[in-house]
Chains A and B, each alone.
Chain A
Amino acid sequence: MTTSQTPPPAEPTDVADSVPADLQDERLIASQGVGGWASATWQRIKSGDLGSLPVVIGLVIIWAVFYGLNPAFISSRNLVNLTLQMVPIGTLAIGVVLVLLLGEIDLSIGSMSGLSGAILAVLFVNQGMSIWLAVVIALAAGAVVGLVYGLLFNRFGVPSFVITLAGLLALLGFQLRVLGTDGTVNIPFQSGLVQFASQLFLPEWLAYVVAVAVPVVYLLARLRTDQRRKAAGLSAPALTTVAVRAAIVAVLLLVVVSVLNRDRGLSYMVVLFVALVVVMDLLIRRTTWGRSVLAIGGNVEAARRAGINVKRIYLTVFTLCSTFAALGGIFAAARLASANQSSGGADTNLNAIAAAVIGGTSLFGGRGSAYSALLGILVIFSISNGLALLSVSADIRYIVTGAVLLLAVVIDSLSRRSRAAHGRA
């Protein structure tokens, strides 16, 4: 390392004993304790670093409005339905977040999900294959499609929206071909997969254990990091700040679980979906791979000059995106216990992309989080579920969802401008 032969600079070391290395600059505005955390957060929001705030506020408004129009909206029964409905397209949205982080897009996720549902149903029902083998093959089909996109993108530099638009048509063709003349394949209700998607719920006690375990794990992880920071001579937030945050998470989760438990409860499929979101978030924020994805989304040339294997990252992201689409297709087929020619058609594609954007992932690349898939899909399905409860027809539903998407994109652009003005571009 560089200092090995250089004497440490004399001036800062005497300060370093008392003040953590990252708080020595006198221009820094000190923010300590819970109040400091709150005011720092407020400053961040004001400067256009909105994160997931607009979508959370939006969600609260949407829920309040639907509750006002029809109190059945927040009945446990309906909320359990909502959690089950959102999983298939929410899974597609996780993949969309990944490609958006790179500043690319995949328009074929809908067709891919339809194709994978068709492969699953035909292999399992018509060919009599084991369900889990069929699942693996359907997922592999997704991976292969994504790999092809990535190779085409790397080799020819064609914009991803053109490649995947071609893919949209081709995959739709494959889907129709796989389904053959029947057009619809029904999956038996007794099969494990259909059971998993509609009947399997966590026992009440287990759901509560999960709701408590998650914040505890968060707290322990934070405490360990803060200990390491202190040992390294860096500042660490006050214990109360961390504890308050963990408590907020705990209360939220306990409320959700207790509401859901009054009906069927927390579905295993929903837990799997949320777990996938959490894992992807950790991969994006905590691994070299994720750091590379964000860097490429921010500045491809800088990433390339930093020695990042840019092509490999594109390849893995396109592959992951299509694989998530295939998984979403499997969930959809399992939930509806069938695969047909219109699976993954209509608004599937747009809902998945809209969810990622509404959830706060920027269309401009390099900014966003896996949680936007969860938040965005909650918004979209809250709207469609709420309107369905009011027996509003599909036309209005499309218009409202379109308006919300437009609003999300406008917020994205505005916050981008505000970030530029506040030096957080």
Chain B
Amino acid sequence: MSTTTTPAPVLSMTGVSKRFGAVQALKDIEFDVAAGEVVALVGDNGAGKSTLVKTIAGVYAPDGGEVVFDGNPVTITSPSEAQNLGIATVFQDLALCDNLDVVGNLFLGNERKHAGALDEVTMEKESWRLLRELSAKIPSVRIPVASLSGGQRQTVAIARSLLGEPKVVMLDEPTAALGVAQTAEVLNLVERLRERGLGVILISHNMSDVMAVADRVAVLRLGRNNGVYRVADTSSQEIIAAITGATTNAVTARAARRAPQEEQS
């Protein structure tokens, strides 16, 4: 493991395991994120990244292991517990209600009230503010999310996680469906969250995004830890090698083939 000069972690876990029938999705995972730190979680398809996120978010109960949040050992058994602790999550499968409109989805489980009833006016106003902040291109917040494009849905899911006062925000491939401007906005947002002292866990397959915003990179491989790297002291190559688990494989071989050509040009 790499250095831990960062302040005391807001969230840390040791020995976390999760099994789905015959598949050992997570095995003895060690992971932590400090306040004001962005940790990227990377790994191949099926490495267990989403499973880890869902375990932290209370969607899956881990089979074993310890989770410490804000210095206290916790067992998170439901999504509402995670939210109450201050863990906000954007899931890879976005988990939106198609029949509700954008406002309904944004504030689901977190509704604003006025004189005992839902305060649609305040919620709509807040929605526009949040969406503008993310440069969202959503024409109306009063249409069902079923009628939004993939990227618009993703923006809604991201905006959702920013409501309330989270201490840790987990983003599972938040930019996978986003346009150029919206991706930049999300990366800016990640940096703003860090400045505000939140812990951010970012899952992405895009190495340049990861290198651009993350402080540390934790690599998962086949459900196990495969190294934690400080972005300042590492390179994409090293991380890709850790992701694929070999020094020679399709990716590095391709990189090696291209390198001499680039030198020539």
Binds B, one of A133-141, A301-309, A405-413: A301-309
Across the interface, name the chain A residue whose C-beta is closest to B196. A5
Query: With contacts A5-B192, A22-B140 known, is A294 near B125, CB below 8 A?
Result: no
CA A19 to CA B79, docked complex, whole Å: 39
| Interface pair B80/A307, CB less than 8 Å apart | yes
Q: Is A308's CB under 8 angstroms from B109's CB?
A: yes
A424 within 8 A of B: yes
B-side interface residues, number (CB < 8 Å): 52
Residues of B22-67 at the interface with A, using a CB-CB cut-off of 8 Å, are 57, 59
Please tell me if A128 contacts chain B, counting CB pairs below 8 Å: no
Interface flag for A297 (CB, 8 Å)? yes
Q: Is the CB of A308 within 8 A of B80?
A: yes
Q: B231 in the interface, Cβ–Cβ < 8 Å?
A: no
Q: Does B176 contact A (CB under 8 A)?
A: no
Contact with B147, one of A228, A302, A303, A424 (Cβ below 8 angstroms): A424
**Which residues from B are CB-within-8-Å of A304?**
59, 78-79
Q: Are A27 and B139 in contact (CB under 8 A)?
A: yes
Interface positions, chain A 282-325, Cβ under 8 Å from B, are 282, 286-288, 291-292, 294-295, 297-299, 301-309
| Chain A residues positioned under 8 Å from B192 (CB to CB) | 5-6
Q: Is B83 an interface residue (CB 8 A)?
A: yes
Given A21-B128, A295-B108, A302-B97: A228 touches B121 (CB 8 Å cut-off): yes
Closest B residue to A236 by CB, please name it.
B121
Known: A21-B128, A305-B91, A424-B144. A291 touches B99 (CB 8 A): no
Which of chain B's residues have a CB closer than 8 A to the CB of A28?
Answer: 139-140
A279 to chain B, nearest CB (A): 12
A83 to chain B, nearest CB (A): 30
What are the residues of chain B within 8 A of A306 when measuring CB–CB? 79, 95, 108-110
- Whether B144 contacts A302 by the Cβ 8 Å rule is no
Q: Interface centre among A9, A288, A367, by most B CB within 10 Å?
A: A288
Which residue from chain B places its CB closest to the CB of A420 in the assembled complex? B146
The contact of A295 among B84, B97, B132, B144, by CB within 8 Å, is B97
> Which residues of chain A come closer than 8 Å to B111, judged between CB atoms?
288, 291
Contacts of A301 in B (CB 8 A): 95
Q: How large is the interface on A (under 10, 10 to 19, 20 to 34, 35 or more residues)?
A: 35 or more
Contact across chains for A307 and B109 when beta carbons are under 8 A apart = yes
- State the CA gap A234–B121 with chains docked (Å): 8
Besides A22-B141, A297-B99, A305-B91, 14 new A-B residue pairs in contact (Cβ under 8 A), listed by A number: A2-B130, A9-B132, A25-B139, A225-B120, A232-B125, A291-B104, A295-B97, A298-B100, A299-B95, A299-B98, A303-B97, A304-B59, A309-B80, A425-B98
Q: What would 25 A/B residue contacts be, using CB atoms closer than 8 Å?
A: A5-B195, A9-B133, A22-B124, A28-B139, A229-B121, A233-B125, A234-B128, A282-B117, A288-B111, A291-B104, A291-B108, A291-B111, A291-B118, A294-B100, A295-B97, A301-B95, A302-B95, A302-B108, A303-B97, A366-B97, A367-B99, A423-B147, A425-B98, A425-B146, A425-B147
Binding site for A on B (CB under 8 A): 57, 59, 78-80, 82-84, 89, 91, 95-100, 104, 108-111, 113, 116-118, 120-122, 124-126, 128-130, 132-133, 135, 137-144, 146-148, 162, 192, 195-196
